[in-house]
Amino acid sequence: MGVDGGQSSTTALIANDVGCIVGRGRGGPCNHVTTAEGRARFLSAIGDCLNQACREAGIDAATVRFAAVCLGLSGGGEDKEAYTRELIRSELYKITHDAEIALTGATAGEAGIIMIAGTGSMAFGRNAQGKKARAGGWGYIFGDEGGAFDLTRQALRAALRSEEGWGEQSALHRLLLDATRAASANELLHRFYGRLDRAHIATLANLVTQAANDGDSVAITILRDAAAKLAFYVTGVYRQLFSKAETVPVAPIGGVFQGELVRREFSRCVSESVACRVIQPRFSPVAGALLEALRLDGNPSSLSGLAEVPQ
């Protein structure tokens, strides 16, 4: 069994010992267990996934014991391992963070690097010897450059500069006010400070892409700068893990990369700085978790019957 436990949802896959997927499940978010409410959400999300996937596979969730299970959990698994073992019975366990299973899925288990740019940003890699390294992922105060929250932050800063008369005029000012029904950029700034919902603020990042697609020079600069910063993270991981001449696949993952400009600029910046080639992820993170479980059981089988669209 493989599980991808994220900040927005949890997914699970069950396969037989030759890698054929026989069950799928989905649940809610499971990223925090520090409070009673968070633990309840975690147990519910994992339990829902387990029950749905077992039901589709035709097995009894109450009695099944897996040969191996891998869970990739947002924020890591150290504080969640005991709760996981209560819910899922298995001979072997691997409980890790979501970046590792995303890399395994993206490269089908081979060495490489992923660059995650969702609400935040982080690069993670693994070489052929199994050594791992990361760069970024410092959070919205000290890092997360190039992530969706940062894009919105840069857009609001541009709108504030324009509103105060010392910055370049940009369509971002109007787009932000229209989307939020704020009277001014200054009002929107204070609204964000008063209720700092990072996930909601990050959803406004698509306005930067919209403005850039319409030719707004400020928005284009923001996206190009974001792509360059994301490439810096990849360079950092590459230098920790790989020799200078080693060609390595790099898979971009996350909503920020849905924009063509960011994808193109990211690929250019990466190829100019290190010996990497940008690839499309082969499988999703939950498929990566399942591959890790198969390999934990000593089974190198590839996944068959996978109907998911890679991220």
Question: Using one digit for the tens of pLDDT, what is the confidence trace for 143-193?
Answer: 889 999 999 999 999 999 999 999 899 999 999 999 999 999 999 999 888
Question: Do 58 and 119 share a domain, yes or no?
Answer: no
pLDDT digits (tens, 9 = 90+) for 246-297: 899 999 998 899 989 999 999 999 998 888 889 999 998 999 999 999 999 8
Question: Do 92 and 198 share a domain, yes or no?
Answer: no
Asked whether residue 308 carries a pLDDT value surpassing 70, the answer given is: no
Question: Do 263 and 198 share a domain, yes or no?
Answer: yes
Asked whether residue 304 carries a pLDDT value surpassing 70, the answer given is: no
Question: Do 84 and 122 share a domain, yes or no?
Answer: no
- Contact present, 158 and 222 (Cβ < 8 Å): yes
**Which of 68-72, 78-82, 232-236, 300-304 shows the lowest mean pLDDT across its residues?**
300-304
Provide the pLDDT for residue 309. 39
Residues in the chain, total? 311
Question: Do 204 and 292 share a domain, yes or no?
Answer: no
Question: Do 53 and 192 share a domain, yes or no?
Answer: no
Provide the pLDDT for residue 17. 80
pTM of the model: 0.84
97 in a domain, yes or no?
yes
Question: Do 53 and 190 share a domain, yes or no?
Answer: no
309 in a domain, yes or no?
no
Percent of the chain topping pLDDT 70: 94
290 in a domain, yes or no?
yes
Provide the pLDDT for residue 34. 64
Provide the pLDDT for residue 310. 44
133 in a domain, yes or no?
yes
Provide the pLDDT for residue 219. 95
Burial class (CB within 10 angstroms; exposed 0-12, middle 13-18, buried 19+) of 129: exposed
**Which of 42-56, 74-88, 233-247 shows the lowest mean pLDDT across its residues?**
74-88
- Residue in 32, 31, 25 with CA at minimum distance from that of residue 8: 31
The domain spanning residue 23 has which CATH number? 3.30.420.40
Asked whether residue 302 carries a pLDDT value surpassing 80, the answer given is: no
Question: Do 149 and 259 share a domain, yes or no?
Answer: yes
Question: Do 198 and 213 share a domain, yes or no?
Answer: yes
Convert 189-204 to b/e letters by CB count within 10 Å (16 or more is b): beebeeeeebeebbeb
Q: What is the dihedral of CA 132, 137, 142, 143, to 10 degrees?
A: 100
311 in a domain, yes or no?
no
| Mean pLDDT of all residues in 93-109 | 91
**Whole-number mean pLDDT of the chain?**
88
259 in a domain, yes or no?
yes
- Which regions of 191-296 does DSSP assign to beta strands (E)? 248-253, 276-278
Confidence of residue 311 (pLDDT cuts 50, 70, 90): very low
Provide the pLDDT for residue 298. 86
Cβ-Cβ contacts under 8 Å for 91 (sequence gap 6 or more):
65, 66, 67, 68, 297
Percent of the chain topping pLDDT 90: 59
Domain range spanning residue 44? 2-108+282-296
Q: Which residue has the higher pLDDT, 149 or 34?
A: 149
306 in a domain, yes or no?
no
| Mean pLDDT of all residues in 23-45 | 78
- DSSP code string of 93-114: EEEEEHHHHHHHHHHTTSSEEE
Helix or strand or coil: residue 56? helix
Q: Which residue has the higher pLDDT, 62 or 158?
A: 158
Rounded CA-CA distance 69/93 in Å is: 5
- DSSP code string of 146-190: TSHHHHHHHHHHHHHHHHTTSS---HHHHHHHHHHT-SSHHHHHH
26: region left, alpha or beta (phi > 0 left; psi from -120 to 50 alpha): beta
Question: Do 196 and 216 share a domain, yes or no?
Answer: yes
Confidence of residue 41 (pLDDT cuts 50, 70, 90): confident
Provide the pLDDT for residue 33. 66
Rounded CA-CA distance 279/140 in Å is: 27
193 in a domain, yes or no?
yes
Q: Which residue has the higher pLDDT, 198 or 90?
A: 90
Q: What is the dihedral of CA 288, 290, 295, 299, to 10 degrees?
A: -130
Provide the pLDDT for residue 71. 92
Asked whether residue 49 carries a pLDDT value surpassing 50, the answer given is: yes
Total count of domains within the chain: 2
Quote the distance between the C-alpha of residue 255 and its chain's center: 8
